[in-house]
A and B are shown apart, each in its own frame.
Chain A
Amino acid sequence: MATITTRQHQRHTAAAARRVGGYSELIRLSAERGHSGAGSMVTRNAITGQWSVRPRAS
């Protein structure tokens, strides 16, 4: 019986969640991205280490 998501898909998403600090943080970024629209991107503040969604630099 197949699963909904493939192992590769699961590992890929879990690796991203580990980088940002957990699934809750990934959900927060996705929600922020949804509010910001298509012209935004995920960035990380090099000083504080905080991940956030910012407008894409033109």
Chain B
Amino acid sequence: MNFTIALLAGLVLLLPGITALVSWNLQGATHGAKRPELQLSSVTALFVALGIAIVMHVLGYALVSLFWAAAIELGTHVTPVGEIMQNPYEMALALSVGTSKPASGTIETFLIIILFECLLAWRLIGSNGLDIAMESSDVRSQGWVFQHIVRPLRHGYTPIAYVLTTASHGEYGIGYEGIVADIRQGENGELKSIGLAEPQRFIYQIVTDDPDKPRRKPRLATHDREWVGGLVALDGSVIRNIVIHNVSNEIVDEVEETPPAEDGAFETLPVETIAAPAALAPPKKPRARRKPVVPPDQPPPVEAPES
């Protein structure tokens, strides 16, 4: 085997591992939660690709050998369609050491098997099972962004951020609440910027209920909530603090599927099962006055004669 063919064969053998790396990188590109790449050397990437390729080939060889043995056994009971084809893996090994030449159709079969292994590697990297298995390992070193935004998003939740900014006027400040569309971290993991889609803008204030009691705990009050629409991008320098909540997509779908209110059919349960407010409740019957209990050793009270 000359050098060019050997290089091509090596690339074909590494193809499942390279596919896994491409799948991993593309997942990162679609996340939009970015942090500068850390010291992940190309040697590590090559090692990972080689390891995945070996695992895929071992699995592929086991399945192909099983299928070939079953097909040969089946051929003894039913009339075979054609000649028995050589096992593609054994053909590839024999071809690499130069002991035999490939039979017709064997190379094509081997390439199809390699493509199936690539597909399996692609699905494996993007699967929920692998994510659960690697739950504790934050591979991209994103920290809280990984645990509270990236992972919930992959499992059917929408991250919603509540951000208080440093833009203030006196005791008032501006805050936003919206769907996390984009989030960036610096080299040390600090928050660089965040983008909120379809945000609500509000004014926040730290108020004390009773000014005469200054030692009483103040509370955060919000005023003038309004829908801004579009997207607001906030730089890390203007963010005072941020709270992330995750809303289940099932809740969103159920709210959207609830019929509109105009026809009065908003309720998915019978109206009778829901407690009506006190103003709409039927009037109560007047309760009968109870007779006073008189101890047996005292004379009964004398009722006043009616006039």
Contacts and interface: CB of A to CB of B under 8 A. Distances in A.
Interface residues of B, number: 50
Contacts of A23: 160, 162, 177-178, 200, 247
Contact of B181 (A10, A27, A41, A45): A10
Interface in A3-58: 3-5, 7, 9-20, 22-24, 26-27, 29-30, 33-34, 41-49, 51, 54, 57
B180 A14 contact: no
Contact of B251 (A11, A26, A49): A26
A33 B251 contact: yes
Given A30-B248, A47-B277, A16 B256 contact: yes
Contacts of A17: 198
Place the interface of chain A in its size category.
35 or more
A14 B198 contact: yes
B179 A10 contact: yes
B24 interface: no
Contacts of B159: 4
Contacts of A16: 251-252, 255-256
Interface of A: 1-5, 7, 9-20, 22-24, 26-27, 29-30, 33-34, 41-49, 51, 54, 57
